């Protein structure tokens, strides 16, 4: 799908398939209580195409807004937070501002191991060589700004938080004590996750003496969303990796992580920096195929309850769909549809292999807006429809309810 123009921005695409609607019957959550609301059918979504693509040398040809927010600005404009997502040694974060279909002003982060540069987006106290990706911006209830992002570096793969008083200059609190750790992070070497995952049996000899080993309960995969709740506390959804042996029906040898099954956990925190309570909330059950995995969960809180956009990952086919799910409290989730809510495009469309949601849906000007990353290549990168590409795309709906 080609980039849209200002003239065609409000034109709608052809109606999407409605196969999921038949499966989405009103049902009582947990077998009791009020019935579940029903989602709008896939055909209710109007796909408007590509709104943001790599155009600058520093973007390295690939960008994504996976897990990242879109924020309304004045006069119909938006701020889109996004990541440079090609080669790991070129990972970066940025925001773009403008109207979808029009020119965008792009502002990459300027990072420093010392004080944050005075720039539209400056990040300080980030060690040299650590590359941020998958950014989330929150405007905290006390007026401050906070960024969350995964940092990649030599021996480093961890989730950091950085705060700012002015929304321009951010400072990482303590990079040696992150919010979460990936199993490949040096501090997680020699520490088994709660699911028994231990990719590196021995501690990393290069870990600094003042850097503690990872807490087992904070070892996670790298698809993470964070929200501040009405009472000021925080919830975080991330992906746990559960090992399965060869011969298990869930073992898929051609996946990029063979022998690991992705499931969703929820954490809570009072300050958004120390997440200790962890709970498994979504995993494959008897109604799912053996190769079903769950790659991410993006949550939108509404007066009816929590609408979840669930990364529906079919590991055999290496495809990523967006599945609708629902919760009253963010803890107990119902999955009545188990099929695409926003359909992927037909090859060679930019979203023909996968759809990766941003942080949440946005209600603006009488419509729901969904900004997402479209990919035209398999998750293991072994096949693509045309040159592999990651772009930010847009869909809207008058209602998200059936």
389: number of Cβ within 10 Å: 21
Q: Please provide the size of the chain in residues.
A: 402
Residue 24: what pLDDT? 65
- In this prediction, residues 211-222 reach a mean pLDDT of 97
Lowest mean pLDDT among 1-5, 7-11, 47-51, 200-204: 7-11
Residue-level pLDDT at 88: 87
User: 279-297: per-residue pLDDT in tens?
Assistant: 999 999 999 999 999 999 9
- Over residues 169-178, the mean pLDDT reads 97
Q: What is the DSSP letter of 122?
A: E
State the chain's mean pLDDT as an integer. Answer: 92
Percent of the chain exceeding pLDDT 70 equals 92
Q: Please, what are the domains in the chain?
A: 39-208+220-397 (2.115.10.20)
Tell me which residue of 119, 72, 78 sits closest to 97, measured CA to CA: 78
142 φ, ψ (degrees, to nearest 5): -90, 5
Among residues 165, 9, 148, the alpha carbon closest in space to that of 77 is found at: 9
**pLDDT for res 89:** 87
The pLDDT of 220-244, averaged and rounded, is 97
Which whole-number Å values give the CA distances from 42 to 26, 39, 243, 308, 397, in the listed order? 17, 9, 34, 15, 10
pLDDT at 151 over 80: yes
pLDDT band for position 170 (50/70/90)? Answer: very high
Q: What is the pLDDT of residues 73-98, one digit of tens each?
A: 999 999 999 999 998 889 999 999 99
pLDDT of residue 34: 63
Q: Is 229 helix (H, G, I), strand (E, B) or coil?
A: coil
């Amino acid at each position: 799908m080609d980039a849209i123009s200002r003239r065609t921005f409000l034109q709608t695409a052809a109606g999407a398939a409605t196969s999921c609607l038949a499966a989405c019957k009103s049902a009582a959550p947990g077998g009791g209580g009020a019935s579940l609301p029903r989602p709008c059918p896939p055909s209710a979504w109007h796909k408007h195409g590509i709104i943001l693509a790599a155009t600058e040398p520093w973007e390295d040809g690939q960008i994504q807004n996976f897990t990242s927010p879109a924020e309304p600005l004045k006069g119909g404009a938006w701020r889109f937070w996004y990541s440079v997502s090609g080669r790991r040694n070129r990972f970066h974060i940025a925001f773009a501002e403008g109207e979808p279909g029009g020119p965008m002003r792009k502002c990459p982060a300027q990072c420093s191991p010392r004080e944050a540069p005075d720039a539209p987006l400056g990040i300080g106290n980030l060690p040299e060589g650590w590359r941020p990706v998958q950014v989330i911006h929150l405007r905290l209830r006390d007026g401050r700004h906070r960024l969350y992002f995964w940092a990649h570096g030599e021996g480093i793969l961890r989730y950091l938080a950085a705060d700012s008083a002015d929304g321009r200059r951010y400072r990482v609190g303590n990079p040696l004590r992150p919010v979460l750790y990936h199993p490949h992070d040096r501090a997680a070497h020699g520490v088994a996750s709660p699911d028994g995952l231990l990719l590196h049996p021995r501690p990393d000899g290069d870990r600094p003496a003042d850097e503690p080993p990872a807490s087992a309960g904070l070892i996670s995969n790298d698809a993470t969303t964070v929200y501040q709740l009405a009472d000021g506390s925080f919830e975080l959804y991330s992906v746990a990796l559960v090992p399965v042996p060869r011969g298990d029906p869930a073992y898929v040898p051609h996946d990029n992580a063979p022998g690991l099954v992705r499931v969703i956990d929820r954490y809570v925190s009072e300050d958004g920096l120390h997440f200790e309570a962890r709970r498994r909330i979504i995993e494959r059950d008897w109604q799912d195929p053996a190769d079903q995995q769950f790659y991410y969960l993006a949550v939108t809180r509404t007066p009816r309850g929590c609408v979840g956009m669930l990364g529906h990952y079919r590991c055999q086919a290496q495809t990523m769909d967006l599945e609708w799910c629902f919760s009253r409290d963010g803890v107990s989730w119902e999955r009545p549809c188990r099929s695409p809510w926003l359909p992927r495009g037909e090859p060679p469309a930019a979203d023909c292999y996968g759809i990766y949601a941003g942080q949440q849906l946005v209600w603006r000007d009488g419509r729901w807006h969904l900004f997402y990353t479209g990919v035209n290549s398999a998750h293991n990168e072994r096949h693509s429809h045309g040159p592999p590409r990651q772009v930010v795309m847009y869909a809207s709906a008058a209602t998200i309810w059936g």
